[in-house]
Structure formats: C-alpha cells, structure tokens
C-alpha cells in the first residue's frame, strides 16, 4: 500500500522524531511511504484566524502536492482535521469548482496516524507482541473530535505489553493551545494548561502520549515550568519503540526545571 506522509510544519521542525516513527511503523506494516518534499503547511493558522485567501493559497498547494497520493497519513490530528473538515468548505462554489472536487478527494484520502492503523490498515497490533515499559497516560486532542476519532490511540496503547495505561483526569478537556490563542489570550490559555499539567502530575504517569504536536508543545512547556518531570511522546514514537524500530528512551524528554 502506498502512503504519503504529511509531516506538518510543527512536526518537521519541532517534533521530527514523530515523523520518523510514523515512517518506520508504516513501513513495518507493509506500506510503501513517500514524502512529497514540496509540502509546507496546511494553512490552519490562516484559516482559523479568518485569513481566507491566504489559507486557500496554502490549501491549493497541499491539494496539488498530494494529488497523486493514494493515502495521506499525518501524525497530527488538527492538520488532518483541517484537510478533512475545512478544505472542502473553503472551495465551496462559487469558488473554483475543480478545486472543490479535488479538495473533497484529498479529504477522503487523508487520515490521522491512529485512525489509519485502526480503521484503514486494520492491523492487529496485539498479535505483533510489542513491548514497552512504563506508566503512560494519553492526552486526547480536541481536533480528534471532528475526525470522529475516539479511543483509537488508547486501544493501540493497550495492545503494548508492559505498558501500564493510566487514564487522565479530564482527558477530554482542551489543554489551552488553540494555535495563536495561546499567545493572544495568554492568561486564559495558561490557566487551562496549568490544570492539564496538574492532572498529569496527579496521574503519576511517567510518559504522556499525544497525537498532536501543538498540544505537546503547550503541555510539555507547562509541565517544565511547573517542575513536573514527565516524558512526552507521540503515538507513532511509542509504537515504533515498542516494535523495536527505534531505540527505547526511558528518560523523560522534558526534565522539570527546579526553579
């Protein structure tokens, strides 16, 4: 099965290991992965802030870049949601009718990593005898709602031997990232993420798994500031490590700062 990776702009620069893990896991599962190098950003910041022409220009670029891809897989829920939920609306007639069709087509071919594994590849990870160890919790990213993704990631995590899954208190509450919201309404956003960091601390988990680089940036930054020593990994990373495709790093990636 041929799969194109959409790394996302945050993933490319800030969390490349998540992308590397995505490639390795998909290849292990028999996919042939390519990376169309012309990709940049899905245009979500522009779209969400009301800059429609700017967002359409970037969406047009994405549509062209992934024109030939049978499947587009991304380790980010919100970027997948952007393509799936927003692209078709952005080109609704009276805009370019051809692009509208292509946007719908791209939307139908785009998947977030966990749903691609569970709902498209339908892999039985339990049979793969994956092994990891540690107390792990999962942060549910808001944009997964729009994609209809519920507990896919948790189901995947639970198939990993040795991984002790701890549910997170108020797991479904937004961490306060919200893109530019985090800087524009800093105090509200910080209040939200402080509670998230406190819930993580209270859970006693050593590692937090997330399907979204934006959330990770925000929550890890808050944990670090609060001095909670906890590791952050994307779902593909933990699966790649459990499959033995990447070195297992058991030390927290975000050491708490004892201020």
Rounded least distance, CB 178 to another protein, Å: 3
Q: Given the complex with another protein, which of 41 and 118 has the nearer CB atom?
A: 41
Return the number of other C-beta atoms located less than 10 Å from residue 82's C-beta.
29
Among residue numbers 60 through 79, which ones bind another protein (CB under 8 A)?
A: 61
Among 146, 159, 165, 171, binds another protein (CB under 8 A): 146
Among 1, 104, 186, 202, binds another protein (CB under 8 A): 186
Cis peptide before 225 (omega within 30 of 0): no
Contact flag: residue 131 with another protein (CB under 8 A): no
Please tell me whether residue 189 adopts helix, strand or coil conformation: helix
| Residue 25 CA from chain centroid, whole number | 15
Contact flag: residue 134 with another protein (CB under 8 A): no
Among residue numbers 233 through 252, which ones bind another protein (CB under 8 A)?
A: 244-245, 247, 249, 251-252
Contact flag: residue 50 with another protein (CB under 8 A): yes
Cα–Cα distance list, 147 to 111, 113, 150 (Å): 9, 12, 9
Total length of the chain: 259
Rounded least distance, CB 166 to another protein, Å: 20
Contact flag: residue 140 with another protein (CB under 8 A): no
Q: Given the complex with another protein, which of 24 and 84 has the nearer CB atom?
A: 24
Rounded least distance, CB 61 to another protein, Å: 7
Among 26, 168, 182, 200, binds another protein (CB under 8 A): 182
Residue written as token pair 């990870």:
125
Rounded least distance, CB 52 to another protein, Å: 5
Spell out the alpha helix ranges (H) of the chain. 9-13, 16-28, 44-48, 52-65, 77-81, 87-90, 97-109, 113-115, 143-147, 152-158, 181-184, 186-203, 213-226, 235-242
């Amino acid at each position: 099965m041929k799969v194109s990776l959409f790394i996302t702009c945050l993933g490319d620069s800030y969390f490349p290991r998540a992308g590397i893990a995505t490639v390795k896991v998909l290849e292990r599962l028999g996919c042939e992965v390519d990376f169309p190098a012309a990709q940049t950003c899905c245009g979500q910041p522009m779209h969400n802030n009301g800059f429609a022409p700017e967002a359409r220009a970037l969406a047009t670029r994405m549509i062209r870049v992934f024109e030939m891809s049978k499947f587009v897989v991304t380790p980010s829920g919100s970027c997948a949601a952007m393509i799936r939920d927003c692209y078709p609306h952005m080109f609704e007639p009276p805009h370019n009718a051809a692009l509208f069709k292509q946007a719908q087509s791209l939307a139908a071919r785009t998947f977030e990593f966990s749903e691609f594994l569970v709902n498209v590849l339908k892999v039985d990870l339990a049979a793969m005898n994956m092994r990891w160890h540690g107390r792990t919790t999962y942060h549910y990213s808001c944009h997964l709602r729009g994609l209809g993704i519920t507990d896919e990631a948790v189901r995947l995590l639970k198939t990993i031997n040795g991984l002790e899954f701890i549910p997170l208190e108020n797991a479904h509450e937004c961490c306060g990232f919200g893109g530019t919201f985090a800087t524009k309404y800093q105090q509200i956003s910080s209040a939200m993420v402080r509670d998230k960091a406190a819930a993580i601390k209270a859970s006693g988990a050593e590692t937090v798994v997330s399907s979204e680089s934006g959330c990770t940036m925000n929550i890890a930054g808050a944990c670090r500031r609060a001095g909670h020593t906890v590791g952050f990994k994307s779902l593909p990373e933990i699966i790649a490590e459990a499959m033995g495709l990447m070195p297992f790093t058991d030390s927290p990636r975000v050491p708490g700062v004892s201020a």
